[in-house]
């Protein structure tokens, strides 16, 4: 029986799978993930090779359109993105209206949604040509929103950086350049961010990506679907884990580096505390991204000349967890976000911006998944339920309750 007809064919049987632990929602040709073996590939290319040899924009093109770009395709893609990077001037007013204390994820989700108001033609996209226009628009404007969110926090003037720079180079310039000061681009930072963005670029049907697909399945536009995905990413069980990891490591440091205490808390079933940055729904082996990031954290901090005791605490905690029967039995390994925050911190990015940096990296993956869903003409996402509430009962007027 076709599963979508099971209910009709069996007079009422439905499958129930909270958390979709064993439910596939689509067929996809974008990302291959083998959680048992710890393998991750984008469009067939291994994550290790892409992180080593490609740049973020090439990976974005690969994810969205299926092939690595030729030099001409890459140049055109970058030029089309650059041509769309200016945001409406009124967006500045919205950025300025947020309190400086606002969480950057809330700001970025709102600004992404606000873009629909300033780009109405991107809302109803039905042809591939319309899709392409919406895609280069958001790839051009999103880094501006991210940089402005950061700059607003520190009271820095909002600007566009320098469009003659590479995509990732300009993101860093837009964030970090100071008024009346010479900005010197650091190759170490560019390479580190490039790698981090590539490692975060897609991860098949995770919580935020499924949110983007299900939102888009109602034919809501790309920007609205992305805004929903950003909100889903924010939670500490998903993308918000990078912020939570750093806060946890800080708490351990302030507690005299007592990792054993936190290990005990993580194993205590009466304590809601979890070892942040550990465990994954799909990986029951090392997250291949975590391996790359751990090595990169060592290199980046050494190259920047930063000695961060937090890195030692993280390594100590990882070692203890990997030798602990609780973690061994449950196959809990460090995930992508266990070490990413340490690099972001070394780069001078504040803790509450970490998840925004994740969103910047995940943007091409969300776009690719949204595009695939629309091109495949997937039906609207609409799960069923098993009703467990009250049976029929008569209404009781307010004065009789």
- Residue ranges binding ligand ACO (CB under 6 A): 19, 206, 237-239, 241, 266, 274-281, 330, 332, 335-337
- Shortest separation between residue 15's beta carbon and ligand ACO, angstroms: 18
Catalytic residue among 55, 194, 202, 337: 337
- Shortest separation between residue 217's beta carbon and ligand ACO, angstroms: 22
CA distance 153 to 104: 9
DSSP letters spanning 299-345: HHHHHHT---HHHHHHHHHHHHHHH-HHHHHTT--B-THHHHHHHHH
The residue among 221 and 365 lying less far from ligand ACO, judged by its C-beta, is 365
CA distance 361 to 324: 32
- Shortest separation between residue 161's beta carbon and ligand ACO, angstroms: 28
- Shortest separation between residue 239's beta carbon and ligand ACO, angstroms: 5
CA distance 67 to 59: 9
270 is catalytic: no
The residue among 282 and 304 lying less far from ligand ACO, judged by its C-beta, is 282
Other CB atoms closer than 10 Å to residue 335's CB: what's the count?
A: 24
268 is catalytic: no
Name the β-bridge partners of 334: 278
| Cβ-proximal residue to ligand ACO, closest one | 279
The residue among 33 and 332 lying less far from ligand ACO, judged by its C-beta, is 332
For 29, 42, 360, 366, the CA distances from 65, given in Å and listed in that order, are: 11, 11, 18, 13
The residue among 143 and 239 lying less far from ligand ACO, judged by its C-beta, is 239
CA distance 192 to 347: 9
The residue among 150 and 278 lying less far from ligand ACO, judged by its C-beta, is 278
Name the β-bridge partners of 40: 33
CA distance 257 to 266: 16
Catalytic residue among 55, 238, 280, 287: 280
CA distance 110 to 223: 11
- Shortest separation between residue 141's beta carbon and ligand ACO, angstroms: 24
Just list the catalytic residues.
280, 337
């Amino acid at each position: 029986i076709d599963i979508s007809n099971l209910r009709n064919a069996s007079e009422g049987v439905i499958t129930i799978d909270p958390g979709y632990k064993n439910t596939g929602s689509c067929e996809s040709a974008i990302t291959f993930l083998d959680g048992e073996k710890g393998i991750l590939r984008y469009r067939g290319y291994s994550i290790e090779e892409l992180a080593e040899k490609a740049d973020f924009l090439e990976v974005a093109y690969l994810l969205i359109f299926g092939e690595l770009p030729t030099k001409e395709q890459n140049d055109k893609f970058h030029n089309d993105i650059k041509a769309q990077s200016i945001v409406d001037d009124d967006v500045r007013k919205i950025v300025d209206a947020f309190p400086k204390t606002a969480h950057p994820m809330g700001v970025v989700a709102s600004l992404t949604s606000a873009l629909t108001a300033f780009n109405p033609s991107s809302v109803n996209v039905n042809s591939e040509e319309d899709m392409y226009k919406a895609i280069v628009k958001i790839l051009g404007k999103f880094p501006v929103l991210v940089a402005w969110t950061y700059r607003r926090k520190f009271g820095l003037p909002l600007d566009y950086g320098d469009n003659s720079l590479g995509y990732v180079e300009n993101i860093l310039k837009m964030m970090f350049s100071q008024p009346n000061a010479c900005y010197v681009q650091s190759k170490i930072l560019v390479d580190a961010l490039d790698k981090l963005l590539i490692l975060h670029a897609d991860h098949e049907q995770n919580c935020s990506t499924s949110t983007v697909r299900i939102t888009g399945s109602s034919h809501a536009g790309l920007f609205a679907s992305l805004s929903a995905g950003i909100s889903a990413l924010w939670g500490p069980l998903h993308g918000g884990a990078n912020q939570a990891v750093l806060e946890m490591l800080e708490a351990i440091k302030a507690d005299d580096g007592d990792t054993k205490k936190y290990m005990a808390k993580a194993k205590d079933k009466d304590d809601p505390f979890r070892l942040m940055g550990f465990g994954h729904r799909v990986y029951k082996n090392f997250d291949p991204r975590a391996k790359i990031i751990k090595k990169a954290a060592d290199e980046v901090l050494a190259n920047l000349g930063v000695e961060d005791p937090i890195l030692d605490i993280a390594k100590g905690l990882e070692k203890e967890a990997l030798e602990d029967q609780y973690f061994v039995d449950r196959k809990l390994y460090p995930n992508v976000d266990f070490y990413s925050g340490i690099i972001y911190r070394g780069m001078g990015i504040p803790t509450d911006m970490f998840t925004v940096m994740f969103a910047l990296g995940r943007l091409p993956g969300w776009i690719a998944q949204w595009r695939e869903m629309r091109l495949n003409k997937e039906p609207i996402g609409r799960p069923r339920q098993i009703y467990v509430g009250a049976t029929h009962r008569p209404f009781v007027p307010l004065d009789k309750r």
